[in-house]
Amino acid sequence: MATAQTEIRPESGIALQNRVLSFPEVLAQSVANMAPSAAMALLPLFVFFSAGNDAWLSFGISVLILLVVAYCAAQFATRINSAGSFYVWVTRALGPGAGSAAGWGLVLGYLFTGIACVLGFEIYGDNLLVGFGLSPDNHVVRGLLYVVGGLAPAIMAVSDIKISQRVAFILEAVSVTIILVLCVAVYVHAGGVVDTHQLSLKGAKTGGIVVGMVLAIFAFVGFESAGALGQEAKDPARSVPRAIIWSCGIIGVFYLIVVYAQIYGFGDAAFAKASAPLPQLASVVGLGELGHFIAIGITCSMFACALACLTAGSRMLLSLGHDGLLPKLFTHTSRHTHAPDVAIWAVAIPMTVIPVAYIAAGSGDAALSSEEGTLATYGFMLAYGLVAIAAPVYLAKLNEGKALAWIFGILGAVTMLFVFYVNWIPTAIPNDIFPALAGTYAKLPYVFLVWTAIGLAWYVVVKFTKPDMIRSAATWGDAVDPAAEAEEAAHRAA
């Protein structure tokens, strides 16, 4: 009988911890990686510029689309529990070439989301300190904020997975609660919860809603990262798929509440002019002091997201290293905490150094944070599209083919292609619905394509130099792989 290995045995160090994380701690990984409080700081305004009063509908459609992808990911998470998540899952269904592309895409996603979070941590942290009287041009303090935002999460990630997950859970819970308090205040101030301007859909424009939907999808990236905890979760076959689906659904509802409340509280004309919507909305409803707590919450959300990126990104590097697609050094784990320490620092160092280098060169951190986040999203879209295709194929290998899986798989893959289309093709072929991208944003799709080409080229090199390693790629994990069992049984019967 073909069974997967029960743990990762690197050449040096010992294995990851086994079965130590509770469901809330696993859920915290996906929620923190989504950074819901940080996402609600400005993204609703950007969606509003395209969709107007129908911004909530753009977010609603995005929730449904990402739940489709989450369903596809959950089909694997209930059957294969591994730190390699999408890389392992896609490899089992579509082969190591597609799997390495998914893994390489997630490495891009976690690394550049982390960079965006370090930049965001500095932005909001600096604004907080300025509010307490510190000079806004204090470069020493800014430098310290970058170091804290990048290296403190790394120290925490190396120390103990249970501690880091609990910290992420607490930080996100506090920040989300603060924003929900503001939303309640908006409804109390307005004397009700019904805003006919939004709910009537009067003057709704399909093109604007669709563009808004594409932007809103950016707020969900990271929901899949609980998959990286397959070995460390106590009951991975239940907790990991639940975390993936629940994080997408629960945070999606949170987004709908916050977007609706922002437009309701401001009114469309005032919202369009807001520069810092959440703190300004607190002043509108007579809770100006709450704005400081909102800023603290967003800063905490950035920190928690950076921590989540390190957790998921390091385990992806470990998985790729285990299969020879990256140096074996990345499989090293701490003898004291069982954390993949080398892989964690391999993500943390560029997460810290790149923002410092950008700012030293005179670039604006706010614009950079948005650009890095956009680049990261391309990596996530690649992985999401591949896992959507892979899910029905994998179920078919198990003789568990479901019509729903095929429908969701095709829908998820096509949607991810569409999102990439909207963020690339209009640069060359502008039209009335999707305007041409400008500046750095027009170059980001090509940066992503180069990154992907490098990853695939390296896969080809490894395939021809280490064919045995490629043939055994993604065969380790914590659970029996029913597809592998079925294939071996058929082979023996023949």
> Homologous superfamily of 23-493 in CATH?
Amino acid/polyamine transporter I (1.20.1740.10)
pLDDT of residue 50: 82
**Burial label, 235 (beta-carbon count in 10 A; 0-12, 13-18, 19+):** middle
Q: Count helices and strands (H / E) in the chain.
A: 20, 0
Extract the residue ranges of the chain whose pLDDT is less than 50.
1-14, 428-430, 478-482, 485, 488-489, 491-492
d(CA 131, CA 133): 5
pLDDT of residue 367: 65
**Tokens 């607490």, residue?**
170
pLDDT of residue 116: 92
The pLDDT tens digits for 268-314 are 778 888 878 898 899 999 988 898 899 899 999 999 999 999 999 99
Torsion over CA of 475, 322, 458 and 80, rounded to 10 degrees?
30
CB neighbours of residue 429 within 10 Å:
10
pLDDT of residue 69: 98
The domain segmentation of the chain, as residue ranges, is 23-493
**HSE toward the beta carbon, residue 185, CA cutoff 13 A:** 21
The pLDDT tens digits for 418-427 are 888 877 765 5
Q: Is residue 270 a contact partner of residue 261, using CB atoms and an 8 Å limit?
A: no
d(CA 111, CA 128): 26
Does the reported pTM lie above 0.75? yes
Instruction: Give me the DSSP letters along 263-325.
Output: HHHH-HHHHHT-SSHHHHHHHHTT-TTHHHHHHHHHHHHHHHHHHHHHHHHHHHHHHHHHTTS
d(CA 52, CA 208): 8
pLDDT of residue 188: 93
